[in-house]
Structure 1
Amino acid sequence: MTGVSIGTARQIDFLKFRLGREMKNLEKEGLKVSLQESSAGKFNFVSCQVMPGGGQREDIQDVFHRRIARTLSEIILGQWQQWLLKDIIRENYYYFNEEERQNIYRYALSHLGYGRDEQNPVYKHFFKKKIMDKILEFLRQNNQIIVEGFIRFRLKDYVEELARAVEKAVDDFLMEREYQEFIQLLKYFVEIQESRVELVHVVKLPGGTYTLLDEQEQVLKVDYLENIFMDLTDGEITYEDMLISTLITLAPRKIIIHDAGSGPKSTVMETINLVFWGRVRECRGCALCQKK
């Protein structure tokens, strides 16, 4: 008989369910298995035992350990990883409120290769293999494993990787918050500014630059804009900053962005949409779009 006892201070039901499902797969392969639950102090344990059934298997221990290692690695990368990330955020970044911590958590997942629904297969395979190897190495000399202790002492590299992902997530969150505050400030400038023109066409040119046209679809040439460009070029200012600053100064009642559908939306176009919310229309195929 081969057996392994797995303990945790967390929710035992989820662990028991996953292990039970894997034990049923072993039963289908002709092995007799049993699953028993017990507790000791703050820890709950699930004891898994397996023995040959109708057919003898010399590699029973190796097969059993691999199934345990695979199941535990999937659990750690699933439910436990969520807990670990939230624990790291709560303990190290306690000064953020709950909503802010949730945003940091989502950024951290993206740094660990998660998209909308699941983790990138490359990331998942990389972490899963490392964790499985550590579990198999541990089970060669031990028949009891406590998940929290194993993660803390045997998966230090993995926990450090999670901590780095959280650190990057905090940087992302702070940058995003700063950007949103900047957008709110620009929106305020637009609201208090008197509109100097009724309509501005923003036309995307080859090479990623833009030109501004008036209502008659002529290049905007206004005397007061020359002073703006002179002031802006004295400092460390980008082309996109100049474009946004010009539009804010003009404060048009309506902006039409041409060739908006050609490729991914640029940061400057997203900024224009946010700052001039309700005034922007995207054109995807008029004569101006075709003329470029």
Structure 2
Amino acid sequence: MTGISIGTARHIDLIRFRLGREMKNLEKEGLKVSLKESSAGRFNFVSCQIMPGGGQREDIQAIFRHHIARSLSDLILGQWQQLLLKDMIRENYYYFNEEERQNIFKYALGHLGYGKSGQKGGYQRLFKKKIMDKILDFLRQNNQIIVEGFIRFRLKDYMEELEQAVERAVDDFLMEREYQEFIQLLKYFVEIQESRVELVHVLRLPGGAFRLLDDQKQVLRVDYLENLFIDLTDGEINYEDMLISTLITLAPKHIVIHNADSGQKNTVMETIYLVFWGRVRECTGCPLCQKK
């Protein structure tokens, strides 16, 4: 009998289940395969063996190894990848609490090509091909593979990718936390500020500029905004900073956004919705929206 033994210190049940499913696929191709379990120290093993009479084709070993490699690459990119990420975050960023570490974990998955729905993207498919190729190379010379050791010593490039994803995830998390703290500060300013106007129309213009109109839909001109504009336009004009600062100074009771669907919502628009929560609405279409 020809066999391959897979060992692990964790999740032997997942390996058993995944290999069992893969071996059924082999049986559909006319190959008889058996699975046996054993243990040695802290490692558990599942041995996959081709039974006598399981097939006469010359490429039987290549087919057998391919199915084993496919199973292991799926497991590494599934359960083991998540365990590795969580281990890295817990060991290197222990000063974050559990909820913060969970958020960092989600950011890391995003950097590794997972969408919001958890679906794998092209980046993960590329990972799988590389890992599968390395497993196949290893199995051509060895009939036993221990998952943790293989990952540590044979997938160093992959481990570096995971570490970089975690580092970027931490940066993302810190930036998001700073942004949320900034939003809370702006909301506080708006809450304690007395409203200077009842209504402001925000008209989005090409090139990133904005036009502010009063409740009569006339260009908003207020004397106490002049110094603010001078400060904000001292150097390169940042229309987004100017818009946010102006709206906070005015603290309007109501804000209407025109041309809200002209492209994706950018950061400044999201900021307006968050800071002026409950005061903002989008215009569904009016003559103003077509005047830009």
TM-score, reference length from structure 1 = 0.96
Aligned to 1:13: 13
Q: Identity of aligned pairs, percent?
A: 81
Alpha carbons 2:201, 2:257 under 8 Å: kept = yes
Alpha-carbon deviations, 1:75-95, whole Å to 9, x = none? 101111111111111111111
Larger mean Cα displacement after TM superposition, 68-77 or 203-212: 203-212
After superposition, where does 1:101-180 map in structure 2 within 5 Å? 101-180=101-180
8 Å CA contact 1:30–1:53 kept in 2: the answer is no
Q: Deviations over 1:206-261 (max 9, x none)?
A: 22211000011000111110011112234777221111000000000100001112
Q: Could you tell me how far 1:182 is from its partner in structure 2?
A: 0.4
2:22 equivalent in structure 1: 22
> What residue number does 1:48 align with?
48
Residue pair 1:30, 1:52 contacting (<8 A) in 2 also: no
Q: CA separation in 1, counterparts of 2:125 and 2:99?
A: 31
119-128 or 202-211: bigger deviation: 119-128
| Matched ranges for 1:165-204 at <5 A | 165-204=165-204
| Superimposed CA distance per residue, residues 131-182 of structure 1 (whole angstroms, 9 cap, x where no aligned partner) | 1111111112211111011100110110110000000000000000000000
Alpha-carbon distance, 1:111 to partner: 0.6
TM-score (norm 2): 0.96
Return the offset for 1:3.
Answer: 0.4
Deviations 1:4-23 (A, max 9, x none): 11011111111100000011
Structure 1: distance between partners of 2:237 and 2:181: 19
- What is the deviation of 1:57? 1.4
Higher mean C-alpha deviation, range 270-279 or range 203-212: 203-212
Identify the residue that residue 230 of structure 1 maps to in structure 2: 230
- 1:39 maps to what in 2? 39
**2: CA distance, partners of 1:244 / 1:53:** 76
Partner letter of residue 220 of structure 2? L
Letter in 2 for 1:195: S
* 1:52 to partner: Cα distance: 5.3
Number of residues paired by the alignment?
292
1:239 aligns with: 239
SS in 2 for 1:31: coil
User: Are residue 64 (structure 1) and residue 64 (structure 2) matched?
Assistant: yes
2:220 aligned partner: 220
Query: Is the contact made by 2:113 and 2:120 (CA closer than 8 Å) also made in structure 1?
Result: yes
**Gaps (5+ residues) in structure 2?**
none
The 3-state SS of whatever aligns with 1:285 is coil
Q: Secondary structure at the match of 1:196?
A: coil
- Which whole-Å CA distance do the structure 1 matches of 2:147 and 2:206 have between them? 57
Find the residue that maps to 1:7 and give its secondary structure: strand
- Deviates further, 131-140 or 214-223: 131-140
Moved over 6 A (4+): none
Is the deviation greater in 135-144 or in 249-258?
Answer: 135-144
Distance 1:8 1:55, change over 3 A: closer
CA contact (8 A) 2:114 2:121 kept: no
SS of the aligned residue for 2:51 comes to: strand
Gap runs ≥5 in structure 1: none
